[in-house]
């Protein structure tokens, strides 16, 4: 696949995944669902290894041809619902909506790093399908796949470290 095509698919994946997250953050949840989702979000391991494992698992599943883009969309939708739940469960103390939480997330490097990785994985999932159809996986695509996986895993590790530092900083404030 031509590099220009890869960039276009990456940009579309980034915008679609971000759009799904933004949309899901605006959904009004039931009074039972909001606290339940909030509680499940609070149970996430906030260590570097815990965050890294969670994010790498998502990204590696997004590399799977055909399955990856759908899983990426589901994962973004689910994350958006968690933002909506956090906003609704804390409405009286923060006054923020789920969309405002999403917009605040846009201000963090974590969002940009992780969504870049997720979009690379989705793009590569699509590129794998194209390479299998063109029968050029063995000659060129496998190099892109290995490079993409290495980039995503290494970058998500750095992102997890940064995320833990930001969490610790926020707790100090």
Does position 93 have pLDDT exceeding 80, yes or no? no
Q: 40 Cβ partners below 8 Å, 6+ apart?
A: 82
Q: Which residues of 39-66 are buried (b: 16+ CB within 10 A; e: fewer)?
A: eeeeeeeeebeebbeebbebbebbbeee
Segments making up each domain of the chain, as ranges: 3-168
74 against 166, higher pLDDT: 74
Does position 86 have pLDDT exceeding 80, yes or no? yes
Rounding to the nearest 10 degrees, give the CA dihedral for residues 58, 63, 65, 67: 10
Does position 90 have pLDDT exceeding 90, yes or no? no
Does position 92 have pLDDT exceeding 80, yes or no? no
Q: How confident is the model at residue 43 (pLDDT cuts 50, 70, 90)?
A: confident
**Nearest alpha-carbon partner for 52 in 124, 110, 101:** 110
Q: How confident is the model at residue 126 (pLDDT cuts 50, 70, 90)?
A: very high
Contact 77, 24 (CB under 8 A): yes
The percent of residues above 90 in pLDDT, for the chain, comes to 74
Tell me which of 41-55, 85-99, 151-165 is least confident: 85-99
């Amino acid at each position: 696949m031509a590099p220009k095509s890869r960039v276009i698919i990456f940009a579309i994946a980034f915008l679609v995944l971000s759009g799904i997250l933004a949309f899901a953050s605006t959904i009004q949840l039931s009074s039972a669902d909001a606290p339940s989702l909030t509680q499940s979000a609070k149970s996430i391991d906030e260590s570097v290894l815990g965050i890294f494992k969670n994010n790498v698992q998502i990204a590696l599943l997004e590399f799977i041809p055909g399955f990856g883009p759908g899983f990426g969309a589901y994962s973004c939708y689910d994350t958006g619902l968690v933002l909506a739940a956090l906003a609704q469960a804390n409405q009286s103390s923060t006054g923020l909506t789920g969309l405002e939480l999403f917009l605040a997330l846009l201000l963090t490097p974590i969002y940009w790093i992780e969504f870049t990785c997720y979009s690379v994985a989705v793009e590569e999932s699509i590129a794998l399908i194209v390479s299998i159809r063109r029968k050029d996986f063995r000659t060129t695509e496998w190099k892109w796949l290995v490079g993409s996986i290495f980039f995503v895993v290494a970058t998500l590790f750095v992102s997890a470290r940064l995320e833990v530092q930001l969490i610790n900083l926020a707790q100090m404030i």
